A and B are shown apart, each in its own frame.
Chain A
């Protein structure tokens, strides 16, 4: 059997004394496309940061591709939730996106021609190539998010983590983005945090709902337990006018 893409066992995490995640266990196989749902403040982003090695769990074990996060000898792509920082920094769109080509193995060496062509195609896929020379601070929020998506794509990752990739982009781009992600999913595992339940029914293979604890559904369905646990989910469902087929009844199961 292949090493799982993500393997979390009994993971606990708290900020100061406030528990954020309790006893989270999750095994995700390689090639999966996981959506993480849940209310704001439920611990979604914390979960992602644990997987990226940005935070360390109080208890429990986390393995990413069989290794501890951050030490894992692979490349991860990462789109942060907030792309609205350091807007006065003197840096061009191109120079932000090319950060996706950084790695610990090439510290101190300049970017290669190959890096540049990877970034070119990532910027084109994200539809922001025309702005490559623009200072990052001159872009709108939606444009900037495209740049950061391009940066995540340029990593050519084995696992791609996206925190709210559709937060400020227009619906057209959103469709294109998921087409792109489905394509990418042929060779990479994708983990996406989203509020948009509509996305789930059409694109993802599995769903997890996070609100202090985690419920995982491998078939990409939102189960009644998830709704019980995180009652914000159905509110989103109604708000987005999603067909009911994402909600299997007990008889279907």
Chain B
């Protein structure tokens, strides 16, 4: 295990895991309390269209995914306001079209066989240092935004109607949240892949919500849980030579079920008190 840390790619993997866990803890908490998990899933999958486009035109897939995810997140935001009752359907459609576009564009890219698996299930072991710096910047931007507008985000998330009545710009905040979700999702794709993003975005906040008393605490606990899951998953995948993204998610999944069981037992025990 310890000799693994001597390796550059392993150090980068650990750092990427930590950085992604922090953004997932913060944004995931907002995603969970605002009930936009489905939108986040849509953004993650539609981002694949951007990856395809980047390969086709020959620029960085990270940038392609980021641009595409951001654009799709804004469209989804508009849809959820304009077509409230069918927004989930439209998000589902965008979700699939985004992926299809990505696959076709990669097909059309001459002489280049992209390892699709690395985008579907992550490539934490090949995160270049330049991407780490990108993650640091994105994390800082997300953290700063959430800290500055903390009380407004709480108001929007808890009681959107009241927030609107007292003059909080609810829509711009909502779009800011979607934009930040898109950026977090793109970072997370590197670590666990676009199919598994949702788990890292939702499991730690879901567990954290149950024993925290404020959104800030929820974000902090979710980030710490995310770090634990990611590092444990990475260790296990190294030790047993398993796919790292899937191992991380399974560790988180085990955490999820253990927590559910404890909750169930507590409630049962609570009745006797």
Contact = CB atoms under 8 A, between A and B. Distances in A.
A107 B152 contact: yes
Contacts of B213: 90-92, 133, 135
A91 B215 CA distance: 7
A196 to B, nearest CB: 24
Nearest to A82: B161
Interface residues of A, number: 31
B214 interface: yes
Interface residues of B, number: 26
A46 B154 CA distance: 26
B120 interface: no
A68 to B, nearest CB: 13
Interface stretch (B163-171, B245-253, B265-273): B163-171
B159 to A, nearest CB: 7
Given A88-B209, A89-B33, A102-B151, A95 B214 contact: yes
A173 interface: no
Interface in A74-124: 75-76, 78, 80, 85-86, 88-92, 95-96, 99-100, 102-105, 107-108, 110-111
B155 interface: yes
Contact of A102 (B155, B161, B212, B214): B155
Contacts of B33: 86, 89-90
B149 A108 contact: yes
Q: Which of B148, B158, B209 gathers most chain A CB within 10 Å? A: B158
Please classify the interface of chain A as helix (H, G, I), strand (E, B), loop, or mixed, using the class held by over half of its residues.
loop
B169 A104 contact: yes
Contact of A111 (B151, B166, B167, B209): B151
Nearest to B145: A108
Given A110-B151, A155-B166, A90 B212 contact: yes
Interface in A116-142: 133, 135
A108 B148 contact: yes
Given A92-B213, A107-B152, A135-B213, A99 B158 contact: yes
Contacts of A88: 209
Interface string B213-238: 11101100000000000000000000
Q: Give the 8 A-B CB pairs with smallest separation, nearest first.
A: A104-B167, A102-B166, A90-B212, A108-B148, A78-B165, A90-B218, A52-B165, A99-B155
Interface of B: 33, 148-149, 151-152, 154-155, 157-159, 161-169, 209, 212-215, 217-218
